[in-house]
Amino acid sequence: MKYLKYLFFLFFVTSVSFSQFDKTIIQVGIGIIEPFGNTAKGTYYTNLPLGQTTVLGIDSNFMRNNYGLKTGLSFFGKAKFNFDKYAITRGTLFAAFNTFNTFEPSKSGNIGVTVININNQYDTVLTSVNYSYTFNSFSFGLGFELAPTAFTSKVSPYFGANISFNAFNGKLSRTENRVDSVTLSFSDFRIGVDFDAGIEFKINNKFGLSLGVKYDLGNLLLKNTNGGIADAIEWGKSNGSLNDGEGTFYSTIYEPVLTSTRREVRSKKKDINWGTIYVAANIYLNTPKKTTKKAPKK
Instruction: State yes or no: pLDDT of 295 exceeds 50.
Output: yes
Q: Left if phi > 0, otherwise alpha if psi is -120 to 50, otherwise beta: which for 12?
A: alpha
Instruction: Assess contact for 37 and 13: CB atoms under 8 A.
Output: no
CB neighbour class for 138 (10 Å; exposed up to 12, middle 13-18, buried from 19): middle
What pLDDT, in 10s, does the model give residues 29-68? 999 999 999 999 999 999 999 999 999 999 999 999 999 9
> How does residue 211 score in pLDDT terms, banded at 50, 70 and 90?
very high
pTM of the model: 0.85
> How does residue 11 score in pLDDT terms, banded at 50, 70 and 90?
very low
Instruction: Assess contact for 278 and 214: CB atoms under 8 A.
Output: yes
Instruction: State yes or no: pLDDT of 15 exceeds 80.
Output: no
Instruction: State yes or no: pLDDT of 260 exceeds 80.
Output: yes
Average pLDDT, the chain: 89
How far apart CA 80 and CA 197 sit, in angstroms, is 14
Please give the residue that has the higher pLDDT: either 4 or 188.
188
Chain centroid offset of residue 95 CA: 11
190 Cβ neighbours under 8 A, 6+ residues apart: 166, 168, 218, 219, 220, 221, 222, 223, 242, 244, 272
- pLDDT at residue number 17: 40
**Dihedral of alpha carbons 161, 167, 172, 178, sign:** negative
What is the mean pLDDT of the segment spanning 279-296?
70
**Dihedral of alpha carbons 183, 187, 193, 199, sign:** positive
How far apart CA 261 and CA 274 sit, in angstroms, is 34
How far apart CA 210 and CA 198 sit, in angstroms, is 7
Instruction: State yes or no: pLDDT of 236 exceeds 90.
Output: yes
- pLDDT at residue number 8: 46
Instruction: State yes or no: pLDDT of 12 exceeds 70.
Output: no
- pLDDT at residue number 297: 59
